[in-house]
Every structure is written in C-alpha cells, then in structure tokens.
Amino acid sequence: MMNGDFRSERPGTSATYTMDDSDEEDINLPSSGEDQKIIRRPKTSKQTFLTQSRATKKRSANAKMKTRRSLEDRPPWVQPSVRGAMPTPDMTVTHINQTHDRVRARDMAAMFNEGQTSTDWLKNHSIEHFNLTLKDLLSKGQIIRPKNNNNKRLDGPPRELQFEASVVNEFEYKLYESIEMYHNRIRWLLKGSKKTFGMIKGNKVALVIDSSDSNCGFGRISHFRESLMELIDEQLHNREMLYLMSFGTDLDTLWHTPRYTNIRILDEARYWVNSLSGTGGCNLLAALKKVLKVKDIDSIVLVMGSCPDQNAEALVEYIEQAAVGRQVPLHCVTFDCNNHLTNLTLRKLADISGGRYHVYASGSEEQIYTGTDITMLLREIRIAQDVINKIQEMRQGMMGDALVSILNEISLEVQKLPQSRFLPRPPNHTGPLVLEEAAFLPKTSEDWLQQNGLKGKRLSLYQVLAPNAFNQIEEFIPIIRKSVRSQTHEKAMTQFEWHDGTIKNVHVDPALLFDYQKQLGATVKLYERRVDWLSKDSRRLFGTLTEKRIVILIDLSLSNANYLVHIQHSLRLLLQQQMLNKEAFNIIGFSSTARSWRPFMQEPTEQNLQMAWKWALGLECGGSRNFLAALRLALENEEDRKRNMTVDGIYLFTSGIPDQLPEVICSFMEEATIAQPTRLHSILFNVDDYDSNGAIPGRYANITQTAECLRTLAHVTRGRFHWFRETGIIESDDIKGILSEMDKAVNYSQKCAMLVDSVKKRSPKYQAELMNGSSDDQPKMLPMRPSSAKRKALPAPKHTELSLARLQITENKDKEDGKPLPRSRPSSAKKEPSKMDSNRIASEKDRKSKRPSSAHKSKPSKQVFYTEFKNEVGTVYKQYPDILSKKKSVRKAINHPVIPDREELKTTKEWLKLYGLSKLRLDLSKLVSGPECTHAKRHIGTLNKSVTAKYCTIFPSVNIKGTVRHLQMQAHELQDYEKQIELVLRRYLRRLQWLLGASRRTFGAVVEKKVIVLVDTSGSMVSHMEELKRELVALIWDQFQRENISFNIVRFSGDIEPWRNGLVEPTEINCHDAVRWVSTFAPAGNTCTLEALVHAFKDKDVQSIYLLTDGKPDSSTARVLREVAQVNTIRGVKIHTISFNCEDETANIFLRQLAAMCRSRYHRCYAGMDGDLMAHKLLDEGFKDIDHPILPTFDSDDLKQLVDEIEQARHFLSQSRSFRQLFGTTTKPHEKNKSSRHMPPNHIKPSMTAAAT
C-alpha cells in the first residue's frame, strides 16, 4: 500500500484500490449495497520511507517461492468428524482480534441506544481514547540517524523515522473507521425529535415552552405542536417524572408539581400541547425564576422561538447566581429562530448551567451543526482527518526528493518533545506511586534526643556519679584556730574534674560503673540504628518530614536540566514514603518564575498524591533560581489563609545558590512568619559536572559558599540543613546531633575506665603484682605502709553516763556563751586523745563550769543525777532565768506588720521593697531555721551496734530548702505567725484587685507624672477598636485627671497623628477634648512603630512612653531595638509596652524585650482572664484550702510579681500549718516527766534518755 496509487474513494466504501500484482491479495468485504466489491489490500511487509533496491525485491521473491513450495509439500486436509458435537455459542471466537471486534461492535450499538450525550459518549470513543493522535503515530516509529558515504551514522540530530508498513496501514484504517462511526452518530442525532430538540437527558424533566405571539403566530403554531407531540412520544414518554410550563407575558403550568409518568399524564400533556396559543410577550426571566424553584427535577428543557423581553446580561447574571450550589443543567433549544442574539444568549445560559445547546432551523440546515452534541463530533472528525493528511504526506515523501522536507517536518515534531524524554530513567519511572504509610510520626533528632539522649535517659556520667561526689570543704576550726581542708581517702576516693571545671572527690564503685558502661553500649547501638534509618530511602535525599502541613520547593533551573529525572525520582520516593501521614501538602516548582501544583494545600489522599506525581512528570527546566518568588507563593497564599491553614514547614530542594541575597531572604522570612511558626529546611544535592558552556546562573558560588548560604537560611528559621550527593550524605543536622551524642557516650566510657583504673592502681594487691613483675634481679620487698597507718595513741578511759552528761551540759553552756563549736570534726582532728590529754580537758571544763557568770549573762543552771533505772541519768533546773528582766530574748519574735490601706502609685517592684514578706520579717524559712540535723547513726564499738542520737526524738525535724533542721518555734508562735500572714495575704489580694480595676487592667498603673501614650490604630485593630476607645477614655479620667498626670496621645498606623504638639495639663477642658479626639479613631493602614517612638522622643519633657499595640512593627524588630537603644541610652526614658489582645508570641517577645531594654514594665491585656474573681473568692472564703482557688498566670510584670508574692505567702501559711501539726504528735519533755511518775519503771527509760540527750 506504501507504493500503490489511490483512487478517489476512501476505504470502507465500495471503492477498489489497485496495487502492484506481485505484492497484493484480494479481500472480499461486504458493502452497504447488494453487490460485493473487491478491495485489494497490500500484504504486510516491513517498509521504510526509502525506496527498496532491486536486490531486496529479488530476495523477497525467493523467500516467497520457498514458502509456496513448503505449502505444496504438506499432507492433504482431513475432514474432522462432527458427529455428536454441540453447537458453538454466538460469542465463540478463534482469534483475539475477533473478540475485540465483537466487543467494539457491541459497545457501538449500546451507545446509540443508551441515549448518552456526546460528552459522555466521547469519553470512550474519542480519537485520544483510541490512541489515534499524531503523537501516538510518531511513537510507533523508530528514530534513526543519517549515514555518511562510509555507511557510518553521524552524531547529528535525528533526521529520519522508520515505520512498518502494516502499522501505518492499520493506523489509517482505524482512523477511517472512527470517522465512519462519527458520521453514523451524527445521522442518528438528526432523526426524529432529536433533530428538532436534541437529545433529552435526565429522568425528572421540566419542559419550558415559549408561547409568545412571535413563536405561536404566523402559521408556526401547527408545526410547533407537531414537533412537541413527536417529542413526547419519542423521548418524554419513558421519563420518570414530567413538569410542563409555557410562558408568554404570563406563566401557565400544566401541574403545580412534577408528576410521575403514566398514560393519563401523557394524555394530559398531549392535550395541553394541542391547546397552546400565543400569550403576548416573552418573559423568560419570570419563567426561569419559577422553574428553578420547582423541586424534584434534574433537567430543564428550555424551548425558545423568539427574542426574550429581558436583556442578555440580566439573564446570564441571574443564572450565574441561581446555579451556585445546584446541579440542574439547562438544555436550551432554539426553535426556528433567526435572531442571532437569542442564539448567543441561550448558548451562554447552557454553558453556565452545565447543560447543552441545540439549534433547529427549517430554512438553514447548516445551523443545526452548531449545537453542542454535533459540534464535538465534528471536532473529532477534523482531528482524525488531520492525522490522515499527515499520513498521506508521509506516503508522498517516500518518492523522489520530497523525503528531506517531510523528514524535517517530522524532526520538528521530535524536537518539540522535552529533553528529559531522552534521559535514562529508572524502572517504572512513569508508573503510578506505590504508597507506604508510616507506622509512626517521625521526629527531628533534636526532639528525639530529648527523650532518648544520654541526659534524657539519665545516663550522663555526672548524673551517675553525683550521689558519690563530694566537694572539697575548707572551714575554720575554732579549737585549733586555723582553716582545715578536707582530705581524700586514698583507697576509696579519687579526684575528678566536674563539668563546670571544679574538682570533686568521687567514691568509685566498679560494679556501678560496669553496669553503666553496659547501658552506654546499648544506647550507642540504638544511635547507630537511627543513623542507619536516617540514611535510607527518601530520608537520605530529603531527611525526615516532621511537620503536618508542608510545602516542597523544587529547583527547576536550567542548570538542572540533565538531572531532571533524578529530581523527579527523588520526589517520587518522598511522595511514596513520607507524605501519606501528613495533613496537607503542596509542591512548587521554581525557575525564573514559580508555579504550584495546586492553588492551595491539599490533603495527601491517594488520588491527590497520584495527581501530584503526574504533574511532577511534566516539569521542565529553564531559567534561573528565583527562590524568593517561590517563597512568597508558599507563605502569602490567600487561599490557605481563607481556610485557616498555615504552613508548618517548607522544604527547599536545590542544587545551587538562590538569585536573591541571603539577607533579603532572611528578612522576608522574619516578616512573613510573624503569625505562623514556619520553618525552612534546605536540601542541597551536590552536582559536580556543571556544563561550563551552558547557561550562566543568576548568581554564582562554589559548593562551599552555596552550602554555607543554605545552612544559614535553614538555621535562621530553626530549620535543618541536609547535603547529599550520589555517593551518600555529606552533612545532615539530624545525623550530626546523633553522632555528637555518640561521641559524648564514648567520652563518658573512657572516663569510666580511667576512674576504675585509678582505683585499681591504688590497691595493695595491684602494687604487689607490679613489684613482683617489675624485675627479677631486684630483691622482693614488702609493700610500703600507707600514710594512714601511722602509730595511734592509746584510747582514753571510757566515760560513765554521769560524766558524759556533765560534759554535755558544760558544752551547751559554752555554746550559749557565744563560742560556737564546729558542726563536725575534720578528718585531720580525728586523732584519739591520750589519757592525760583527756583528763586535762575534762578538768579544764570542770573549772570553767565552776566560774561564776556575770550579771548580764545569767543563764539557767542544771543538775544531773542518777535515776533508779540502771545507769540512766536525769536533769533538773537548779536556777531559772530572770523573766522580769528587760533583756532581749534569744528567740526570734513574730513581727506584727502594718501596711497602709490607701494604694500608692508605685510599681509592684517598688511596693514590694517596702511591704514584701522579707521586709516585713515574715519569711518562714528564716524564722524556723535552726541548726542542721547532723545526728546520724554512729557505730559504737563497745556496744557493737549503730546508735542514733536521742536529740532527734525530742525536737521535730523539718525540711527547709532541702536541708533537715530542728524546728525552733513553738505551736503558739506558729499560730501567731499564721494570723499575721493571713492579714498580709488579704492586703496583697486587695492590691491585686486594685491593679485589675478600671483602666489599670489594660494599661497598668501609670506612676510617672509626664507621659505619652502611643496607640496602634492599624487595620489589625478593627475587631477591638471600640474596646480600645472605652479603655482610653477610662485612662484619661481615672489616672491622668485624678492623679494630675501631664499627658499626650499619639495615634499611629500607616502615618503618625499626635493629639497635641506637646504635653498638656490634665484639666477638665483638655480631658474632654482628648475624649472627643479618641472617639474619631478608625482602624486602617500598617504599623509604623519605630516612627511613632522617634516622634515621642522629640518631646524633651517626657518621662515615660506607654506603647499599646497588637502586633509586630512593619520594620524589623532588631532595627527597632537598635534605634531605640541609640536614642534612649543617654535620656533613659521609660518605655512601658502594652500587648493589647495579641496572641502572637513573637510579637509579645518583642514587646517584652523592648520594655526590658529600657528597664520598664511589660503589660499584657487578656480578653477572657478574670483574676479579680479569683481574688474575691479568696477574700470571701478565707484560706482554709491553700491550693484552691488557683490564681491565673499573668504575663504582666506588675501582676506577675505580686501573684508570685501571694503564692509565696500561701506556701508559708501551708507550711506553718504542717509544722504546727508536728507538735500534736510529739510529746513535750515536761509531759514525759509528769507521766513518768505514774508509770512503771520500764517506762522511765525513753523520757530520761531524751532528757539526757
């Protein structure tokens, strides 16, 4: 067929093609007529566009002769027996092609009978569906390169395409078959009522008919009625429900509601159609309003034959509004109307509502082809004809010199294909995604190490050694009158450098350290598994995606053209493995411009991920790296803001430095993420073989500078940096944190080995082994005696109970005289005294005890005696102190403070300096702080057991700031203290109510006498502007006018507007004028905070500035702090900041920093917090329950300091009550003495022992 001549007819009709006699065979095909025509169809042979040589034809003829001889030599045919055989079914086939033909024929027949629209029908019968486009034809060819004279292929671009002749013939035959199918459907659409009204869709149909005088007059009514009757009989009789309405000047409905179709309903419809007549004008708008209100219909058929009374714009606008949220299409029919405006209006109405448009014109048959159904079929016929024309040109190009021009045209089609199509691809690159759902939500290594790090698992070496580590103590010993330093036990302690640089004495437990090293080894293995996990699959390329709502930025610059497949494959792995457990995502590709996959973030469903992958396959590289455009597209997305969706993480996948400077990008990120904590993570894939002759990027930097730039961009936003190449990961913040923890574990293990080794070397056994193995020539010597094994003096004789009691009384008397004894003897003073020394010390103490005391130091004296119970001793008072003397008591008295009821204009910090708990001497920790309880159990050699001191059984022990002390206050003193602390608490709560009252709730207490108030009236204050006006009016009258404070008010938004040029006195006239000016505030513009502060500093007399705002300034916060610091360094003006209903933590941090820099106060106004109510409950209910009610947590400096002091007072009150309860369980010494008189002797022992102690 490639070399044959074509007749005028096309295949599929009764025409005959004449080809060469040598290469043809006859095929009989049934025609549409009675006779059968013969079509000569070429045999299948592989041909190219180049003319075959004679030698090739000769070889082909020889092959055919051999085939004929083999056919002649085969045995004759034997007729098989069919006796008893079952008849074959109708669908039995003998070849797979026959099955395809039968199924296709069945589908074609079904489509005509189902009544599908052309849109639905072409989904399964279009040229593209059958793969018959020009692109599909080119894909069947083989691209070959031209050859030179030496029969070698040149390295130029592809110049020729090679096809098999059978492929081209079959392709062309399918095209003709498709055209014939489209013609048959057009003929079917032009039969009966479908020609007049088109094909009606829907089961519940509303028929709206134009019954105007123009449509029903001039002899048209009879033809119109006949057409409608034909429509009812052919298409409407099998519908589920019907609704009929006609419109002229007025509306006429056959039924009020849609009716189910039956014989009676159809008869009523026919009768109603036969009674149609002209009813005036054409009020189409009223008809549409009426029919769109009818329920239970799914299709509206609008038949128009005249021009409507309303203009086209009004009708189109109404349908646009009425069609929102509805799925009722309009099937618009123009019935023999010559007005082109009516045709245009109906076409617009059909397009807006999602329906179809049909034209019927009895005088112009060609207008019917402008309808929706037939237009779509004609477009498919034109597409098929264009492909056939290309095939004809290809055939003609096989003869003569026309080959080069045709092949050039084909090569242009090939050049239009993307360059990435010729790059090598991994297997199943273009296939659908194989999604994997993660079993857990990944974390960054920083968050992961908070739980699994050495410190989180309490495996830090310093945490393990802390219970056995002791500081070196150096104290002054009064007995020897010099400072003594503690010493280290040689065998069990070793000196070890702590993490803060100090030296501590550590008791080394080898078993504990051995177990600790085993735990370190298991932890290091866990870290190794995480590093291995981070280095696999998509985590090797992108790291871990930890946020829930993410945007991926893909670098599509021209420099990455040769790596596009690599980029696509990396994105494929990411979509498959890490995207399914997110909340929303989007993909943005950027080069010179940025384009996104979707206008806003989408949920990562399976369908959306597959669509995103198809979009990624169509990406092309070109241009530079306009990273800022992509960043703005991700962060300044209005669609996401409308849906209250903020971007949590942005992942930048690039191979080079952005076009913009890093300072510009960092500044933009800081401003854009004010209200959303977005992190930018940068991924750098290393490319080593950039083409030096290729495109020049917008900015050039080597790989080190590029990595430093991307690392800075990531770390500024608290993101992570990831750098990899084909061979593996070069740098990763996630892996770096894990490796750092592993190095720390190794370091701890080495220090453990060093500690164990240091103790081992000190052991005598080790020294002996070292000496024995040192040298055989030297004589063996015994190990040297340790320094601690010096000769000790003989112990002193044992004291009796009586002598010990006398010594203790003497020591107590010495303590009372003002000579404190050390808490414990140092290790250097543990030398056992000799017998003579002990006797001398005892005699000296006896002499001291006999000395008469002076008058101003008269103390009660005691006398000890033996009891009747074994060797126990008791004591009695021999002389009582003079209670009538006016000497100052040694005990700490409870202070009775007086706080004035009138509130003072002071900050909370200044007020607490006068009336705080410490200033009022009501700090319970100082009142109850006695000596430390150092009476631990001590081993008594003579008794051969551990004995505890009896002192702890008499005096209650309490825990004061982590130290166990003996309680030195009595129960009545604690009760007096509780009474005073309750009075102070009530005064504190009244102060809290005062701070939360009136204008102080919003502005705090104004303590200066010359102030300027800067008020933010930007557009973000629109929801709180009325509240702000009320609070400003209260500030003017409640604080400025009452306290005689000179003031000025400055409003700032996009510009600055002061109320007065300077400070004014708070007269009644000025206050009224200020209130009137405040009432004119209107929210609009930006937030120029810096300019407002600079304007306020121009006033020479101002003492403080009160800045009220609800967000960050337009300029950089760092710049505002820097400029204010320069201006205010010398003047020292207070800048009190007020956060007005601001939920942005970043903005609150800025205001807090600004106030702290100027040594001022920060105040935050809460909309829903009511601390006044909690304070009222405490004052009303009392302090029976210390833990309830709980005061709210305030952010304001004044309120926070006062609430902290209140909580401290409540804590002291609770602590005092718990201390007082100890006296209920502890028996008093005098009670023990009384009870001992009435008890048997075996009950005297504990009381006497306690007294002796």
Digit-coded pLDDT (tens) for 732-788: 999 999 899 899 888 888 888 888 887 777 766 766 666 665 444 443 333 444 544
- C-alpha radius of gyration, the chain, whole number: 51
Does the predicted model carry a pTM greater than 0.85?
A: no
In the predicted structure, residue 117 carries a pLDDT above the cut 70: yes
Phi, psi dihedrals of residue 4, rounded to the nearest 5°: -85, 170
Single out the residue of 988, 783, 963 nearest to residue 899, CA to CA: 988
User: Residue 1250: what pLDDT?
Assistant: 30
Same fold, 202-355 and 544-719: yes
**Residue pair 476/482 in contact by the 8 Å Cβ criterion:** yes
Lowest mean pLDDT among 41-45, 323-327, 1098-1102: 41-45
In the predicted structure, residue 455 carries a pLDDT above the cut 70: yes
**Residue pair 314/340 in contact by the 8 Å Cβ criterion:** no
In the predicted structure, residue 610 carries a pLDDT above the cut 50: yes
Strands 679-685 and 721-725: what pairing?
parallel
Query: What DSSP string runs through 87-129?
Result: PPPTT--SSHHHHHHHHHHHHHHHHHHHT--HHHHHTTTSTTT
Higher-confidence residue of 149 and 274: namely 274
User: Residue 951: what pLDDT?
Assistant: 57
Which CATH architecture is the domain 202-355 placed in?
Answer: 3-Layer(aba) Sandwich (3.40)
Higher-confidence residue of 486 and 664: namely 664
Give the tens place of pLDDT for each residue, 367-411.
888 888 888 888 899 888 888 888 887 776 543 333 433 444 455
* Residue 720 banded pLDDT, cuts 50, 70, 90: very high
* Residue 1221 banded pLDDT, cuts 50, 70, 90: confident
- Residue owning tokens 């985590």: 539
Q: Would you state the structure tokens that stand for residue 856, as one six-digit string?
A: 């101003």
Higher-confidence residue of 489 and 1050: namely 1050
Angle at 987 between CA 984 and CA 989, to 5 degrees: 110
**Residue pair 238/219 in contact by the 8 Å Cβ criterion:** no
In the predicted structure, residue 90 carries a pLDDT above the cut 80: no
**Residue pair 198/331 in contact by the 8 Å Cβ criterion:** yes
The sign of the dihedral angle between the CA atoms of 965, 968, 972, 978 is negative
* Residue 843 banded pLDDT, cuts 50, 70, 90: very low
The average confidence (pLDDT) of the chain is: 75
User: Residue 416: what pLDDT?
Assistant: 55
In the predicted structure, residue 323 carries a pLDDT above the cut 70: yes
User: Residue 1042: what pLDDT?
Assistant: 87
User: Residue 1116: what pLDDT?
Assistant: 81
Question: Which residues, listed in sequence order, are joined to residue 1010 by a DSSP beta bridge?
Answer: 1046
- CA-to-CA distance for 749 and 518, rounded, in angstroms? 10
In the predicted structure, residue 1159 carries a pLDDT above the cut 50: yes
**Residue pair 1195/1162 in contact by the 8 Å Cβ criterion:** yes
Domain boundary assignment for the chain:
202-355, 453-540+732-763, 544-719, 800-820+857-884, 927-1003+1196-1253, 1005-1167
Q: What is the mean pLDDT of residues 1203-1207?
A: 85
User: Residue 877: what pLDDT?
Assistant: 58
Angle at 238 between CA 232 and CA 241, to 5 degrees: 85
Quickly list H helices, 1170-1196. Answer: 1171-1181
- CA-to-CA distance for 882 and 859, rounded, in angstroms? 9
* Residue 680 banded pLDDT, cuts 50, 70, 90: very high
User: Residue 45: what pLDDT?
Assistant: 39
* Residue 71 banded pLDDT, cuts 50, 70, 90: low
- CA-to-CA distance for 356 and 374, rounded, in angstroms? 11
pLDDT cut 90: percent of the chain above it: 8
User: Residue 983: what pLDDT?
Assistant: 87
User: Residue 1014: what pLDDT?
Assistant: 93
Quickly list H helices, 677-787. Answer: 703-716, 733-762, 764-772
Q: What is the mean pLDDT of residues 795-812?
A: 61
* Residue 596 banded pLDDT, cuts 50, 70, 90: very high
Which CATH architecture is the domain 544-719 placed in?
Answer: 3-Layer(aba) Sandwich (3.40)
Give the tens place of pLDDT for each residue, 263-308.
998 998 898 988 888 888 888 888 888 888 888 888 899 998 888 8
User: Residue 916: what pLDDT?
Assistant: 86
Give domain 1005-1167's CATH number out of 3.40.50.410, 3.40.50.10420, 1.20.1740.10, 3.40.1190.20: 3.40.50.410
**Residue pair 967/1219 in contact by the 8 Å Cβ criterion:** yes
* Residue 1011 banded pLDDT, cuts 50, 70, 90: very high
Q: What is the mean pLDDT of residues 68-72?
A: 64
User: Residue 157: what pLDDT?
Assistant: 46
- CA-to-CA distance for 394 and 410, rounded, in angstroms? 9
Exposure class string for 699-722: b at 16+ Cβ within 10 A, else e: beeebeebbebbbebbebbebbbb
Phi, psi dihedrals of residue 72, rounded to the nearest 5°: -70, -30
Q: What is the mean pLDDT of residues 833-850?
A: 46
What SS3 class is residue 248?
Answer: coil
Q: Which residues contact 155 (CB under 8 A, 6 or more apart)?
A: 145
Type of residue found at 637: N
